[in-house]
Structure 1
Amino acid sequence: MSSRPSSRFVDAAVLAVVVAEGVLTTIAEDEPHGLVTIAIAVLALLLRERRPLPAFLATLPAVLFPGTIVPAIVALYVVSSRYRDSRLLAGCGLLAAAGFVFPMSEFAPSIWDFHTLLGVIYSTMTALAPILLGQFLQSRRELALRLEEVKEAREHERRLDAEAILARERNQLAREMHDVVSHQVSLIAVQASALMVSTRDPNAKQAAGNVRQLSVNTLDELRHMVNLLRASGTPATELTPQPTLTDLERLIGNSAIDARLVGTAPEGLEPPVQRAIYRTIQEALTNVRKHAPGASASIEISHDDTDLTVTVTNTRPTRPNLALPSAQHGLVGLQERATLLGGKLHTGPMPDGGFQLRLRLPLTAVGTAHG
């Protein structure tokens, strides 16, 4: 709001200086007809912002007669502050310098007249000053615009970084939700289905059927929620609290599967490695319950000097498949975990109709915890 009044004040001051110079020049030269060219120059300056080049040309007659140079200097400055064309600026500068020299030469018979040469030098410098000033202020404005663009770009980059962090958190939340909730709900569905088969009480059978149906619906809703939460797979910080290998016995005991654990992992594994092993076994047991009812499972943990291997193998199903909802998010999450630790995940059917999941992690890459 304050820049506009100050700009008007500057315009008024410039016009006042132009008029004063014109009046004083007219009085000194005793040429009242010079007021016409001065009036043209003043009117031209009023249009210098919208038509800088025509305004400059209109001020040149006042330079020649009666010799007022301020309007031309002001108009030349505006031209320089608007244009970058060096040829245009050079041409305007030469016109202004020639106009400044003409009144001082007094029609000297020789261009090599000493006073004329001095006039050329002074006039050239006078014409060059507004050009340089205009170019400087134009560069300053452009630099300010570039700085504003850089500021906006950095702000946009910060927003993108924040969105990327949120995306990684959503991805991690989706993975943990699938690992934990799907494991528990599928266990409820399996036990409810077993109750439906074993009980003869119609009320209990109906209640078990309702529990199973609700479990199936919950898994389906979970699948849709995970689809919404999942973002591009990127490494993310694990949420706490997280399971460790000490929780494996409880996981296997609560799985409602005839499963046995063979072998042990080396001591002192880093927490990310322990979580990867736990989640791999948890997902494998969940898939056995969902896709191979009645099957038994064998969990083998082995290691040598270079690799640690976790293998979960199940037999063929002995009961009809429950056809629970699945979007393969669990296996995708396991693959991501294995990749982050420099390992590999292999899954595939067995010749006897079973299924095998194998996680291989390089011990040299994952390391062990140092106590």
Structure 2
Amino acid sequence: MRAWRHSGSRWPAVAADAGLVAVAAADLWFNHLPVEAWWDHVVLAVGVLALMLRRRHPLAVFAATLPMPLLMGQSAASLIALFTVACATRNRWLLTGCALVYALFSITTWWGDGSLRFDSSWLVWGAYALAPAGAAVFLGQLVQTKRELSRRLEEISEVREHEQALAAQKVLAQERAHLAREMHDVVSHQVSLIAVRAGALQVSTREPIAQDAADTIQTLAARTLDELRHMVGVLRAGGGGEVGLAPQPTLAGLGELVRGAGVEAELHTGPLPDLSPPVQRAIYRTVQEALTNARKHAPGAAVRVRVAEEDGAVLAEVMNTPPTRAVVPLPSAKHGLIGLEQRAELLRGTFEAAPTADGGWRVALRVPSN
């Protein structure tokens, strides 16, 4: 009921008004004094039906219900109208005047002969008449205060949420700036040193294998520096301005990726349908991560990359043989594989990474082709 009442629909208000009209009609049916003139019945009926307009014209509806106390004494319709006026205004003089007028009319009976007659104990009855009128006024003021407090609380909650969002953005901006400084001062410096030393090794050595390895290291280091510069720019922007995004990888770049992987790798691709950019990025990143892991954990191994369509899905498979040289222990948190698995789940696909029977390793991504 509470959710229905606060849903923004007009039906809760219409249902409430219809219920109040029913209450006023029942009060009129059981408690009105006997009247003979037909217009008295019309006045009473108009007073009850006027409650349907109490939200738009509260004061006019109260005035329309005032003849009812003259004809029947205490009137539920007039008290409901007085309550509505109290919900709509804080003018104390107006509310006091409405309560007094209602009390006066409720202790004054109007008979069909056109004369007004006061009861002998009208002062006592006046006190009794003021009690329900005062209750209606105080209840209406209480409801109005509750509504205002609710609006204030909503405003305070919105302001607090806005302040929390600003604080979170400030902390995030500080963290991004810190990461940008660390990447620029530490990682970029070390990668630059690797590129310089690789270039020096390429010039100083005469062995073709060493020259080829030095060229691969220098190429990868230069590419890594470009990506680091872009990432530093994005982090320093902090989301506050437009930053040119680097071109996203596609399947067209797989050949260059495999050739520059620094390992003995072969690429086999079959006929492929038109794939969406997210699927192409997922395949590219899977192959990239698998080649990186093969270079780190299986030195000297041969790598076979296969991308093809099978049974309505696209399969990207990277398999490497066992290492032929001693493995140099390198730090790894396996975040790359976790990220690939999450990519596969977002694309409604599957991801596998497990050792093979001959001691190698297999990484496979299978995603729907449409």
- Length-normalised TM-score, structure 2: 0.50
Name the TM-score, length of structure 1 as normaliser.
Answer: 0.50
Identify which of structures 1 and 2 has the higher relative contact order when contacts are C-alpha pairs closer than 8 Å and 6+ apart. Answer: 1
